Amino acid sequence: MRKHIWTFMLMLILCLSFGTVAFAEVETASRLVDSADLLTDAQESRVLAVLDEISDRQQLDIVVVTTNTLDGKTPTAYADDLYDENGYGFGVERDGVLLLVSMEDRDLWISTSGYGITVFTDAGITYILEQIFLTLGDGDYEDAFTCFARLCDEFIAQARMSEPYDVSALPKKPFSIGYYFSRALLIGLFLAVITTVVMRFNMKSVQSQPTASAYIKNGSMHVTESRELFLYSYVDRKVRQKESSSSSGSKTHVSSSGRTHGGGGRKF
């Protein structure tokens, strides 16, 4: 009897051990990995909350990773390996997107997987990087990462409702108050200078006349005959440019683990 009890306890311990291992294998890493320490603890909490909320609601992982070194890899390989090795992605196709920020050579790279390849086309990735480029360059990392997450949310919703954002249809750029205010100020200054110059010239008693008729005394000349002669014509011909066939969709490649990824990047 005692032997059976020990056998049962041993089997129970083994089952619990295997259950723990199995659980550890499916558990994914955090959606925010700030290895470069660009954020404070409070900022990390806020950014992670946004990433988790959008990822769970859209059922597509949105991940942000920062690092001080690429360990000799290219940004593409580093981002893809991080995604694959840490178990990111929803479903069988591992749907998701990862933003890599490397401080080593100031590289940005976006890696896509599964349905993320469809959602984030090459043109869409370029657009997103342009939107966060200046903010990252200024060192405002929390705003940049939050903006990235919000844009991902918009892109996913667009792809599911209609067609993914692509070359022929990208989001409208946000209205910039500062840009239009400075532009209006420059135009106003230019008009003020022109007005001042005109008023100054009008103050002179002697002015040049725009036409020769101003120098002829009224009634002193009588035209007895007038004719119009055609001298020559001038035709300006221009070659009509063919519409450029910009590539659309997403180019893909295979990572070191054999999984298919899309992506794109730039410096910042």
pLDDT of residue 24: 35
Buried b (16+ CB within 10 A) or exposed e, 95-129: bbbbbbbbbeeebbbbbbbbbbbbbbbbbbbbbbb
Please check whether residue 195 lies inside any domain of the structure. Answer: no
Closest CA to 262 of 86, 69, 128, 71: 128
Please check whether residue 265 lies inside any domain of the structure. Answer: no
20 within 8 A of 118, measured Cβ to Cβ: no
Q: What SS3 class is residue 191?
A: helix
Please check whether residue 68 lies inside any domain of the structure. Answer: yes
pLDDT of residue 46: 99
Looking at residue 9, its amino acid is: M
Whats the size of the chain, residue-wise? 268
CA 136 – CA 40 distance, rounded (Å) = 15
How distant, in Å, are the alpha carbons of 12, 53, 64, 163, 252 from that of 67? Answer: 42, 24, 10, 34, 24
Which residue range forms the structural domain that includes residue 139? 27-174+251-258
Please check whether residue 118 lies inside any domain of the structure. Answer: yes
Please check whether residue 47 lies inside any domain of the structure. Answer: yes
pLDDT of residue 243: 46
Please check whether residue 238 lies inside any domain of the structure. Answer: no
How distant, in Å, are the alpha carbons of 27, 115, 169, 224, 244 from that of 241? Answer: 55, 36, 21, 52, 9
Per-residue pLDDT of the chain (268 residues; tens, 9 = 90+): 555 555 545 555 555 554 443 333 345 689 999 999 999 999 999 999 999 999 999 999 999 999 999 999 999 999 999 999 999 999 999 999 999 999 999 999 999 999 999 999 999 999 999 999 999 999 999 999 999 999 999 999 999 999 999 998 898 765 444 444 455 566 666 666 666 655 666 655 556 666 666 666 666 666 677 667 666 665 666 555 444 445 678 999 999 999 999 999 999 9
Q: How many domains does the chain fold into?
A: 1
Strands 252-254 and 260-267: antiparallel
Chain center to CA of 238: 36
Please check whether residue 41 lies inside any domain of the structure. Answer: yes
Looking at residue 39, its amino acid is: L
36 within 8 A of 103, measured Cβ to Cβ: yes
Report residue 39 as tokens.
Answer: 């954020």
Please check whether residue 103 lies inside any domain of the structure. Answer: yes
Q: Return the CATH number at 61.
A: 3.10.310.50
For the entire predicted model, the pTM comes to 0.66
How distant, in Å, are the alpha carbons of 14, 88, 90 from that of 29? Answer: 26, 7, 13
pLDDT of residue 246: 53
